[in-house]
Structure 1
Amino acid sequence: MAARMTRRPVVLLLLAAAILAVAVQPAAATLHPVDYLALQAVRRALSDLPGSGFFASWDFTGDPCGFAGVSCSGDGRVVTLALGDPRAGAPGLSGAFPSAALARLSALSSLSLVPGRVSGGLSSAVAALPSLRFLALSGNLISGNLPGAFSPALRTVDLSKNSFSGRIPSSLLHIRSLRTLVLSHNSLSGEIPKTVSSPLVHLDLRNNRLSGGVPPLPMTVVYLSLAGNRLSGRVGGVLRRLTRLSFLDLGGNWFSGEVPGEVFSFRIGYLQLRKNAFSGELRPAGRLPSGATVDLSHNALSGRVPAELASAAAVYLNGNKFAGAVPAEIVAAAEGGRMRVLFLQDNFLTGISMRGVPSNAAVCAHWNCVAPPPTVVAACPAKGGRGRRRPPAQCGGRRG
């Protein structure tokens, strides 16, 4: 009896000790200590902008794997880090980009940062994390050169709308798994690397300071934007191979030569070649998909307007050297409302027969070798002109 009573306090004491141990055990014990310290360093480096409450859940007396934006693997390593409130219009974060801390998250596979005011540089130690598949830091103030090394596992890289400068590292375009590369709206300069072996589907380099020509690109490309650079030369040989293109924007460069007719036969919904030096006649090899947008304005294209453009919903041919009459197919598309925008102003056209267009259409044809019909003048936006025609001396033997 006495022995049983002696054992009971011992059992109760052990049970109380076990309960106490569980109660005081920090929830973060499931997270690897290196990752735990790295997240603390991230929190010290970054702050919510006014109106953002992203870091409200980052209470280190709890389990960091339950923090907003943090996902962990079964063995307690951080695998996903999405910094900032992802809702549209939500304020972002500020502070210095915590490269040293992030580089310690060795199992990280996805790193993203919402638009905000985070500054500093992106180190190779972060970009080359061995398991990193997704890297998106768009819309911040990150600057300096792009890293010289990147993870071989990367599938998506979006560093757009920052302040990166220098050249595009050739290593970035040799990642065998890379499908999406967005470097737009930076200050990158120099030439696009001569060899692109990544199986890219989406390539966006617009609004930088890139120069030189366009190298051969993989046939996997569906979306291509190189607009707003200083690129030059002929691109026909490159574009003819990209039969999967659905979006093409080369506007605002110094490209020259003919527009390859093959691009009109692709399943392309947006074709933007404005403000270049393309010349010669348009010879489409097929019709564009119904509802496409075609902007070939402000080039030096000549010859007749091709009837194959009639399937498009918006056509911008202004600021070229087109001559002759507007094809009946295009006139019918505009009159029937299937073509909502038709800009023909500042050319050398001699025939524009249009009875009327819907009230929601925009059709312009001033400054040609024939006065545009009153219905077209009425449908032209104010910035499109006032219906004037070219002086006869500019039209040579052309008749209107």
Structure 2
Amino acid sequence: MLKACTCRKFFLSLCLLFCFSFPCCVKSDELQVLLTLKSALNKSSTDVLDSWEAAGPVCSFNGVTCNGDGSVKEIQLSNQRLTGVLPLDSICQLQSLDKLSFGYNLLYGAITDDLNNCSKLQYLDLGNNLFSGSFPDISSLSELRFLHLNSSGISGPFPWNLLENMTNLTVLSIGDNPLDQTQFPSEILKLKKLNWLYLGNCSIEGKIPPAIGDLTELINLELQLNYLSGEIPSEIGNLHKLWQLELYGNELTGKLPVGLRNLTSLEYFDASNNNLEGDISEVKYLTNLVSLQLFENQFTGQVPPELGEFKKLVNLSLYTNMFTGSLPQKLGSWADFDFIDVSENLLSGPIPPDMCKKGTMRGLLMLQNRFTGEIPTTYANCASLKRFRVSNNSLSGRVPAGIWGLPQVDIIDIAYNQFEGPISSDIKNAKVVGILSAEYNRLSGELPEEISEATSLVRIELNNNQISGKFPRGIGKLKRLSNLQLQNNKLSGSIPESLGSCASISTINMANNSLSGKIPSSLGSLPTLNTLDLSRNELSGRIPESLSSLMLSLFDLSSNRLTGPVPQSFSIEAYNGSLAGNPGLCSSTIQSFKKCPPDSGMPKFVLMLIVCLAVAAILLATLGCFLYLRRTEKDGDRSLKEESWDVKSFHVLTFSEDEILDSIKQENLIGKGGSGNVYKVMLGNGVELAVKHLWNTDSHGRRKSRSSSPMLGRHSGKEKEFDAEVQTLSSIRHVNVVKLYCSITSEDSSLLVYEYLPNGSLWDRLHTSRKMELDWDTRYEIAVGAAKGLEYLHLGCDRPVIHRDVKSSNILLDEFLKPRIADFGLAKMVQANGGKDSTHVIAGTYGYIAPEYGYTYKVDEKSDVYSFGVVLMELVSGKRPIEPEFGDNNDIVSWICSKLKNQESVLSIVDHRIPVAFKEDAVKVLKIAILCTTKLPALRPTMRTVVQMLEEAEPYKLVGIVINKDGEVQKKDTMESADKLNL
């Protein structure tokens, strides 16, 4: 008996010892699993894994949650910029793991069937990654409740049968993956607990099954961008809890089903871009709608008048249908209405007057209908409006004066109506308007001089009106103007010489007016002019010789009062019609014109040439004396002027090297840098230039002649920078790349003559004492413009150009705060054979240098992408790339990565000067910046992709809703539904 008792005590002690010992073994095993996971991931781009150390308890690791007995229960590492291949075979050794969240990272490789060993998983998020291959059958995960695989990169056939064992699923998100086409999976119809189903853009075809109505717990159903056909089943009306229904971009037919009215909780309904027909009377019962998108279908009948009473409705897109009747007059008057597009229908009646009652409306698009009446005066005060488009209707009356001067509007489109009255001087307040389209109306009065203050104008289309009076003298201020259409009006007076300052203009049409005086010779200096039509006016004098340099596809000066000889370049039969109706013209070669008298034409030209040569000789002699006298003057203890200069021009020049050389003096110095000094030059005609000055020096900084380089052909560093900049910029023509007019070189000195950008650099505006507050719209436009400049360098040139020193101080701003990429001293062109530049000198500026420089010494386009990502971070945060607050050896990239913990922390990154209303827009750009600064170059987007992402992040995009990684409702970005501008 004693022996038995002793045995029992020994056994009990052994059990207790085993029980107390086992958790330690578990922790030891789990520690090794987590360390294996850490080693498999790229942890250098984030500090989230820094706490994962061998000495530390696993429950204290960032992103790790344990249960009561100290075993790992959850791993949450979403949105951490992690890269690498997930070691699922190791992870699934964690016996208590029920949540695995790796969404929004950069993970790649295959998702293996080792997942089956994570048998207790309830939550799995692998979405928004870069995985490849097909998804494995994980049928053993019967306890799974949340499955997020959207945008994960998986492809091929999906094992839908795995859902048969997952009857507890509440969230299923598999959309945005290139899966093989398949019929609607019947397995989904058995998941009665589903409340969130996202199957958008995953190649589902066939019909929507009626049994979808059995999933009565659904609050979100997204089936957009698939190949679904047939009618929407009436059973969908059984989904009484449905809050969002997305069916757009399919091939659905038939009418909206009877019973849709039962979805009284529905707030977001989008069935656009299908082949649906009939009326939309079922919609009138959906009183909680916030957004209704039914565009590009074949709907008929009236827009239900009940929509005018919807208290939450803020977005309505019904364009490209066949709706008739009038719009509800109370439409949009209750909520913070945002956007309406009912274009391309058969709608009539007046425009609802109160859609901007709350002052939040950003888009009014009602073009190509049958609307009548006047524009309600309420919209003259709608300062939030960005797009106002009512063309191709039967509207009449005067345009309210304030419409012309809306401060945020970028398009005013009222063409093809019956509007009367003048364009008011309020247009001076339209600082961002790009398109003014009012052709084919009855507008009258003078074109206001104030139109020259709307300096963002790109297109002025006012043809076929009754506009009279003189042409605005200040038209030359419109530097972005590309299209000027004023034909068929009553304009009088002369064409101003300043029109020749509109350097971006491609089309000038002022035919059939009463213009008089001479044709400005300045028009001949317009580098992009393609169409010039001044026919049927009263212009007089000679045809300027300068027009001969233009490359025109349409040229018409017919039916005027021009006199004198036809310039030699136009003296061919092809121009007969273009010059007809000018009896005062003469030509020695065109038979249809009278012969020029002996004393006209060439002799005067020769005489003028002789006079010019004589003047040039005098100037050269004066220059020689001047150069000699100025030898003693100092610029950094060096003489500037030499006896021999080489000028290479890349644009039409309106200045001489004398004017440039005379301005290279201390009082004109505006900047210094590693590439040389920069001077501001004011020409006699008021044009401002910037000149970079480089002295040719040897390796010891001593002045050296360009011709005295060593015989091996090695140049000094500054000579290389000069040559690189000239080679790069001489062939580039892009609105977002700084314009190089010419280079001027001597044996001792090298000069580059640029356009002058009066607002300095982006660095100045963001970081120095001279900074001016930049609102978010301006920062966004700078980001897009600079991105487009880099995109052009990488993809638009004959050979890709790698800048190698992208930074905010090399992004200059013009008078309109539009950006120009500048300073190409380090730039390299990719060789024709595909080789990239390689150097053992790290090029660039600390804080902007891509990490691969440090170990490969090689640069390519992705290095520029990294640097541009840093610039985006500056724009969003207002911080410099290197700040004391970042700590030792840390830069803005590592600092921002340390802040990506929760929404509050992310929002704290945004510059405090950016209003709260725009912080979410800023975070969109921040996400793009983070992608650009990924450590692995191959994972960074191209600049073309960056431009596309930035354009999709416009501040005035609409807002929709999705579920977050925890199954909670949150906002998401969706594309604006309409405005078919084709710009």
Q: TM-score, normalised by structure 1?
A: 0.80
Query: Does 2:80 correspond to 1:82?
Result: no
- After superposition, the Cα gap between the structure-2 partners of 1:281 and 1:117, relative to the gap in structure 1 and judged at 3 Å, is same
Q: Is the 8 A contact 1:371 1:388 kept in 2?
A: no
Report the CA distance between 1:270 and its aligned residue.
0.7
Secondary structure at the residue paired with 1:118? strand
Q: Which residue of 2 aligns with 1:24?
A: none
Alignment partners' CA distance in 1, 2:354 and 2:69:
70
Determine the C-alpha separation between the residues in 2 that align with 1:46 and 1:221.
36
2: distance between equivalents of 1:82 and 1:357? 45
Asked if the contact 1:164/1:186 (under 8 Å) is kept, the reply is yes
Q: Cα–Cα, structure 1 residues 366 and 92, in superposed 2: closer, same or farther, change >3 Å?
A: same
Aligned match of 2:179 in 166, 188, 199? 188
Work out which of the residue numbers 171, 184, 209 in structure 1 matches 2:161.
Answer: 171
Q: Distance in 2 between matches of 1:240 and 1:337?
A: 26
Contact 1:132 1:154 in 2 (8 A): yes
Write the distance in 2 (CA, Å) between the matches of 1:356 and 1:272: 24
User: 1:110: how far off?
Assistant: 0.6
Q: 5 Å matches for 1:112-191?
A: 112-127=101-116, 129-150=118-139, 151-174=141-164, 175-191=166-182
- Choose 1 or 2 for highest CA Rg: 2
Q: Distance in 2 between matches of 1:49 and 1:293?
A: 43
| Shift of residue 93, structure 1, vs aligned partner | 0.8
Whole-angstrom distance in 1 between the partners of 2:227 and 2:281: 26
Decide whether the 8 Å contact of 1:323 with 1:347 is kept in 2. yes
State how far apart, in whole Å, the 1-side matches of 2:103 and 2:279 are.
45
Q: What CA distance in whole angstroms lies between the structure 2 residues aligned with 1:49 and 1:388?
A: 58
Q: 2:255 aligns with which of 251, 255, 258?
A: 258
Distance 1:173 1:303 in 2: 43
Q: CA-to-partner distance for each residue in 1:83-103, whole Å, 9 max, x for gaps?
A: 35x6xxxx4211112122123
TM-score under structure 2 normalisation? 0.34
Q: 2:40 aligns with which of 36, 45, 65?
A: 45
- Counterpart AA for 2:267: G
Output the CA distance in 2 between the equivalents of 1:371 and 1:207. Answer: 41
Question: What is the distance in 2 between the residues matched to 1:295 and 1:305?
Answer: 13
Q: Would you say the 8 A contact 2:134–2:156 is kept in 1?
A: yes
User: Which whole-Å deviations, capped at 9, do the CAs of 1:202-250 have from their partners, x for residues lacking one?
Assistant: 0112233332222332121111111222222222334222221111111
Does the aligned pair in 1 maintain the 2:41–2:84 contact within 8 Å?
Answer: yes
Instruction: Note the C-alpha offset of 1:278.
Output: 1.0
Cα distance 1:189–1:309, how it changes in 2: closer, same or farther (>3 A)? farther
In structure 2, distance between residues paired with 1:381 and 1:251: 27
Judging by fraction of residues, say which structure has more strand: 1
Conserved 8 A contact 2:224-2:248: yes
Alpha-carbon distance change, 340 to 68 in structure 1, aligned in 2, over 3 angstroms: closer
Match of 1:304 in 2: 302
Higher RCO (CA 8 Å, separation ≥ 6 residues)? 1
Distance in 2 between residues matched to 1:100 and 1:165, nearest whole Å = 21
- Partner residue of 2:26 out of 11, 15, 31: 31
Query: Could you tell me which residue of structure 1 aligns to residue 314 of structure 2?
Result: 313
Deviation, structure 1 residue 338: 6.3
Partner residue in 2 for 1:108: 97
Say whether the 8 Å CA contact 2:173–2:199 is kept in structure 1. yes
Deviation at 1:29, TM superposition (A): 3.4
CA deviations over 1:20-51 (Å, ceiling 9, x no partner): xxxxxxxx93534543332232122112252x
State which of 218, 232, 237 in structure 1 corresponds to 2:234.
237
Return the structure number with greater helix share: 2
Secondary structure of 1:342's counterpart equals strand
How far does the alpha carbon of each residue in 1:68-93 deviate from its partner, in whole angstroms, 9 at most, with x for none? 12233444532212235x6xxxx421
- How far residue 297 of structure 1 moved from its aligned partner, in angstroms, is 0.9
Q: Secondary structure at the match of 2:180?
A: strand
Distance of aligned partners of 1:63 and 1:340 in 2 relative to their CA distance in 1, 3 Å threshold: closer
Deviations 1:266-322 (A, max 9, x none): 211111111111111112275223452111111111111112323133221111111
Change beyond 3 A, Cα 1:111–1:282: same
Cα 1:197–1:367 change in 2 (3 A) is same
Change (3 A) 1:112 1:337: closer
Q: Which residue of 2 aligns with 1:22?
A: none
Q: Distance in 1 between matches of 2:228 and 2:92?
A: 35
For residue 9 of structure 1, what is the aligned residue in structure 2? none
Cα displacement (A) at 1:335: 5.1
Q: Aligned ranges for residues 380-399 of structure 1 at < 5 Å?
A: 385-389=389-393
Aligned partner (choices 344, 347, 350) of residue 346 of structure 1: 344
Q: 2:291 aligns with which of 290, 293, 311?
A: 293
Q: Secondary structure at the match of 1:54?
A: coil
1:318-397 pair list within 5 angstroms: 318-326=319-327, 330-334=328-332, 339-355=337-353, 357-358=355-356, 359-361=359-361, 362-371=363-372, 373-375=374-376, 385-389=389-393
8 Å CA contact 2:331–2:352 kept in 1: the answer is no
**Conserved 8 A contact 2:316-2:340:** yes
SS of corresponding position for 1:48: coil
Shift, 1:258, TM fit: 0.9
Letter in 2 for 1:209: S
Residue 214 to residue 173, structure 1, CA distance change in 2 (3 Å): farther
- Measured after TM superposition, the shift of residue 384 of structure 1 is 6.6
Q: Which amino acid aligns with 1:289?
A: T
Displacement of 1:351 after TM fit?
Answer: 2.5
Give the match's secondary structure for 1:232.
strand
2:105 and 2:129 in contact (8 A); partners too = yes
Q: Decide whether the 8 Å contact of 1:258 with 1:278 is kept in 2.
A: yes
Tell me which residue corresponds to 1:17: none
Give the AA of the match of 2:101.
S
Q: CA deviation at 1:149?
A: 2.1
Q: What corresponds to 1:226 in structure 2?
A: 223
The aligned length equals 355
Aligned to 2:975: none
| One-letter amino acid matched to 2:133 | G
Q: Distance in 2 between matches of 1:303 and 1:33?
A: 71
Amino acid at match of 2:370: C
**Corresponding residue SS for 1:388:** coil
TM-aligned CA deviation for residue 121 of structure 1: 1.9
Query: Alignment partner of 2:120: what SS?
Result: coil
Query: Contact conserved, 2:65 with 2:75, CA < 8 A, in 1?
Result: yes
Q: Distance in 1 between matches of 2:101 and 2:336?
A: 42
Q: Structure 1 residues 337, 37: closer, same or farther in 2, change over 3 A?
A: closer
> 2:49 matched to 1:67?
no
Amino acid of the structure 2 residue aligned with 1:244: K
Alpha carbons 1:128, 1:152 under 8 Å: kept? no
Does the C-alpha gap of structure 1 residues 81 and 162 become closer, same or farther in structure 2, counting only changes over 3 Å?
Answer: same
Tell me, what secondary structure is at the counterpart of 2:90? helix
**Deviation of residue 146 (structure 1)?**
1.8
Measure how far apart 1:172 and its partner are: 4.1
Tell me: CA distance 1:341–1:228, structure 2 relative to 1, closer, same or farther (3 Å): same
What is the identity, as a one-letter code, of the residue corresponding to 1:360?
T
Change (3 A) 1:93 1:273: same
Q: Distance in 2 between matches of 1:353 and 1:211?
A: 40
Contact 1:214/1:238, CA 8 A, preserved across alignment: no
